[in-house]
């Protein structure tokens, strides 16, 4: 099969195209003919060596849409690829925190390839009428992580989204469907990004260093920028929550305790559960969520990642195989 491979992560690392043996599914696994794979900022973190101990060489990609080689059924493969079911976290219903978890496109090969293998228990059946493959792919990580973060915001009416990329543009639509008011924060001076945020339903959009026109009830930080934590805390009112939704973030600067006082909360989101997918996928259809997609051929996976890094994208990048 044709695959795009990371051989050595770190600054300046590049992906290479390789012909690899077709993967062989083991017991309880599915062989999947990949049709689309979303490109995620987590892939950039792996490429840059910011996440430790990836499988090497590695096929990146964990937002996979394809068809079972045996039955032709359409399925989605997310980031969470396997859990032990036995550790303390699994027994407590927190499989996203499994002590021995395996992750698609990180500790097992992912979807930047023509074929992929996945544990059947961690694949989501996708009805053919649930949107085309490229539209569905971003829901499998950007959507799921955003949904998990949104749930941690409780009933917050005034919601801030810091970093208006793949996750934020999906969750803004869901939040509006739920009757929330959404405020978007982009890179400073990103006028086009702010216009895009308003286009998908945000009532206000401005720079990440600005204050919103009124205090927020909660904020989600999607950008991997630690300096946004005190900015977000300063923008939420008493009792408000700030949720960090990324797997990696730059150092958080010291900040005054008064930003956290009055029962403000600061917490993180880690990974996802199968229940998150079972809840979000039908909810996304009900809400009419539409991913804004820029498509790339498999051979241009490296360009897709660099476009993501530079902020040239609106919405989601997807490899179409």
What is the pLDDT, as a whole number, of residue 122?
98
With a cut of 80, say whether residue 34 has pLDDT above it. Answer: yes
What is the pLDDT, as a whole number, of residue 256?
96
What residue ranges of the chain are covered by domains with CATH 3.90.180.10? 2-141+272-320
Q: What mean pLDDT comes out for the span 5-25?
A: 97
At residue 193 the predicted structure's pLDDT band, cuts being 50, 70 and 90, is very high
What is the pLDDT, as a whole number, of residue 131?
81
Q: What mean pLDDT comes out for the span 85-112?
A: 98
With a cut of 90, say whether residue 67 has pLDDT above it. Answer: yes
What is the pLDDT, as a whole number, of residue 311?
86
Tokens 């408000």 sit on residue: 240
What is the pLDDT, as a whole number, of residue 127?
81
With a cut of 80, say whether residue 160 has pLDDT above it. Answer: yes
Q: What mean pLDDT comes out for the span 2-6?
A: 98
What residue ranges of the chain are covered by domains with CATH 3.40.50.720? 144-268
Fold classification of 2-141+272-320 (topology level): Quinone Oxidoreductase; Chain A, domain 1 (3.90.180)
Contact indicator for 113, 1 with CB cutoff of 8 Å: yes
Q: What mean pLDDT comes out for the span 7-14?
A: 95
At residue 73 the predicted structure's pLDDT band, cuts being 50, 70 and 90, is very high
Fold classification of 144-268 (topology level): Rossmann fold (3.40.50)
CA 170 to chain centre: 10
What is the pLDDT, as a whole number, of residue 290?
94
Q: pLDDT for 241-252, tens place per residue? A: 999 999 999 999
What is the pLDDT, as a whole number, of residue 184?
98
Q: pLDDT for 104-129, tens place per residue? A: 999 999 999 999 999 999 999 998 77
Q: pLDDT for 254-313, tens place per residue? A: 999 999 999 999 999 999 999 999 999 999 999 999 999 999 999 999 999 999 999 888
Contact indicator for 99, 88 with CB cutoff of 8 Å: yes
At residue 161 the predicted structure's pLDDT band, cuts being 50, 70 and 90, is very high
With a cut of 80, say whether residue 130 has pLDDT above it. Answer: no
Q: What mean pLDDT comes out for the span 215-225?
A: 97
At residue 211 the predicted structure's pLDDT band, cuts being 50, 70 and 90, is very high
Q: pLDDT for 252-269, tens place per residue? A: 999 999 999 999 999 999
The answer to whether the pTM exceeds 0.85 is: yes
3-state secondary structure the chain: CEEEEECCCCCCCCEEEEECCCCCCCCCEEEEEEEEEEECHHHHHHHCCCCCCCCCCEECCCCEEEEECCCCCEEEECCEEECCCCCHHHHCCCHHHCCCCEEECCCECCCCECEEEEEHHHCEECCCCCCCHHHHHHHHCHHHHHHHHHHCCCCCCEEEEECCCHHHHHHHHHHHHCCCEEEEEECCCCHHHHHHHHHCCCCEEEECCCCCCCCEEEEEECCCCCCHHHHHHHHEEEEEEEEECCCCCCCCCCCCHHHCCCCCEEEECCCCCHHHHHHHHHHHHHHCCCCCEEEEEHHHHHHHHHHHHHCCCCCEEEEEC
């Amino acid at each position: 099969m044709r695959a795009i491979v990371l051989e050595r992560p770190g600054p300046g690392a590049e992906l290479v195209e390789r012909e690899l043996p077709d993967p062989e599914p083991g017991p309880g696994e599915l062989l999947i003919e990949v049709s689309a794979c979303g490109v995620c900022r987590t892939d950039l973190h792996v490429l840059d060596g910011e996440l430790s101990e990836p499988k090497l060489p590695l096929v990146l990609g964990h937002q996979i849409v394809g068809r079972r080689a045996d039955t032709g059924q359409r399925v989605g493969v997310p980031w969470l690829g396997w859990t032990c079911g036995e550790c303390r976290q699994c027994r407590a219903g927190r499989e996203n925190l499994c002590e021995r978890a395996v992750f698609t496109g990180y500790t097992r090969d992912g979807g930047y390839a023509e074929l992929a293998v996945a544990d059947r228990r961690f694949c989501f059946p996708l009805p053919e009428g649930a949107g085309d493959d490229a539209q569905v792919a971003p829901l499998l990580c950007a959507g799921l992580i955003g949904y998990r973060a949104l749930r941690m915001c409780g009933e917050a009416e005034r919601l801030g989204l810091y970093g208006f990329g793949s996750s934020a543009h999906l969750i803004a639509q869901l939040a509006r469907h739920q009757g929330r008011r959404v405020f978007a924060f982009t890179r400073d001076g990103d006028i086009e990004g702010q216009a895009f945020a308003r286009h998908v339903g945000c009532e206000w959009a401005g720079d990440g260093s600005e204050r919103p026109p009124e205090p927020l009830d909660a904020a989600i930080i999607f950008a991997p920028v630690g300096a946004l934590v005190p900015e977000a805390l300063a923008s939420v009112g008493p009792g408000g929550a700030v949720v960090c939704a990324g797997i990696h973030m730059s150092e958080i600067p010291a900040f005054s305790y008064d930003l956290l006082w009055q029962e403000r909360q600061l917490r993180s989101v880690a990974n996802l559960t199968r229940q998150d997918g079972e809840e979000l996928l039908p909810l996304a259809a009900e809400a009419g969520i539409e991913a804004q997609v820029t498509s790339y051929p498999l051979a241009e996976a490296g360009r897709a990642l660099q476009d993501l890094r530079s902020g040239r994208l609106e919405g989601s990048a997807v490899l179409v195989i």
